[in-house]
Chain A
Amino acid sequence: AQKITQTQPGMFVQEKEAVTLDCTYDTSDPSYGLFWYKQPSSGEMIFLIYQGSYDQQNATEGRYSLNFQKARKSANLVISASQLGDSAMYFCAMRENAGGTSYGKLTFGQGTILTVHP
């Protein structure tokens, strides 16, 4: 079974509107971290936001927020007030603690290509 699933290969949004990118995960580890990264067409991987499994509140970073629903095992990224520069591929990733044996390994989803229209 896939550990991280991003079911939307592509998403479109109008400039200035909000968009939600879906991410579901699968783990039996009580301690884990969830990350979102942005990969623009230039190719670099840019860290956006982090949510720990024990965090009580949803993470926010500027226009990015993470809608963390632990019981549903979902960690959706919400981008508010989309900008043309938000057009990129977005990856959800998980780091499991695995009793201290995961050694920092990130497992990535397949990615979602977001296109922002003017």
Chain B
Amino acid sequence: DTAVSQTPKYLVTQMGNDKSIKCEQNLGHDTMYWYKQDSKKFLKIMFSYNNKELIINETVPNRFSPKSPDKAHLNLHINSLELGDSAVYFCASSWTISTDTQYFGPGTRLTVL
């Protein structure tokens, strides 16, 4: 009965590959987010979706493409992976886009070799 889940938890891949990270929330929330935590533990928003509609794209390279098939799922696809993409990626969700607490998934540690 995990609230926000992500798969996989760990992802190790070679430079140039394409990979996806999946996120699902069973909280009935309308809004979902992707955050990136770098090696210095700094967290920064990448995208937010509200009812399957992209709301925030925070100057992320267009190699990153989020997709929301329904409001319970927000996947992140990354093309042509680079060394600098190595990070922990967190999915989060909230009831609405403006005023509510965001609940985070367990994170996906991506390592690009």
Binding site for B on A (CB under 8 A): 33, 35, 37, 39, 43-47, 50, 89, 91, 93, 97, 100, 102-108, 110-111
In the complex the two chains form, is A103's CB within 8 Å of B55's CB?
yes
B58 part of interface (Cβ distance < 8 Å): yes
Which of B97, B98, B106 is close to A44, meaning CB atoms less than 8 Å apart? B106
User: Can you offer 27 A-B residue contacts whose CB atoms are under 8 A?
Assistant: A43-B88, A43-B107, A43-B109, A44-B104, A44-B105, A44-B107, A45-B92, A45-B107, A47-B104, A50-B101, A97-B98, A102-B98, A103-B55, A103-B98, A104-B31, A104-B50, A104-B97, A104-B98, A104-B100, A106-B35, A106-B45, A107-B45, A108-B42, A108-B43, A108-B44, A110-B42, A111-B41
In the complex the two chains form, is B56's CB within 8 Å of A105's CB?
yes
Q: Knowing that A44-B106, A104-B48, A106-B43 are A-B contacts, what are 8 other residue pairs whose CB atoms are under 8 Å apart, sorted by A's residue number? A: A43-B109, A45-B92, A45-B107, A47-B101, A47-B103, A103-B50, A103-B98, A105-B56
Alpha-carbon distance A108/B43, docked complex (angstroms)? 6
Binding site for A on B (CB under 8 A): 31, 33, 35, 40-45, 48, 50, 55-56, 58, 88, 90, 92, 94, 96-107, 109
Residue of B nearest to A43 (CB): B107
Alpha-carbon distance A44/B105, docked complex (angstroms)? 7
In the complex the two chains form, is B106's CB within 8 Å of A43's CB?
yes
Alpha-carbon distance A28/B99, docked complex (angstroms)? 17
In the complex the two chains form, is B58's CB within 8 Å of A105's CB?
yes
Alpha-carbon distance A99/B95, docked complex (angstroms)? 19
Alpha-carbon distance A10/B99, docked complex (angstroms)? 30
Residues of B within 8 A of A39 (CB): 41
In the assembled complex, the CB of B2 is this many whole angstroms from the nearest CB of chain A, namely 11
Question: Are A45 and B48 also in contact (CB < 8 A) when A103-B98, A104-B97, A105-B58 are?
Answer: no
In the complex the two chains form, is A103's CB within 8 Å of B99's CB?
no
Residue of B nearest to A110 (CB): B42
Alpha-carbon distance A2/B94, docked complex (angstroms)? 25
Residues of A within 8 A of B48 (CB): 103-105
In the assembled complex, the CB of A111 is this many whole angstroms from the nearest CB of chain B, namely 5
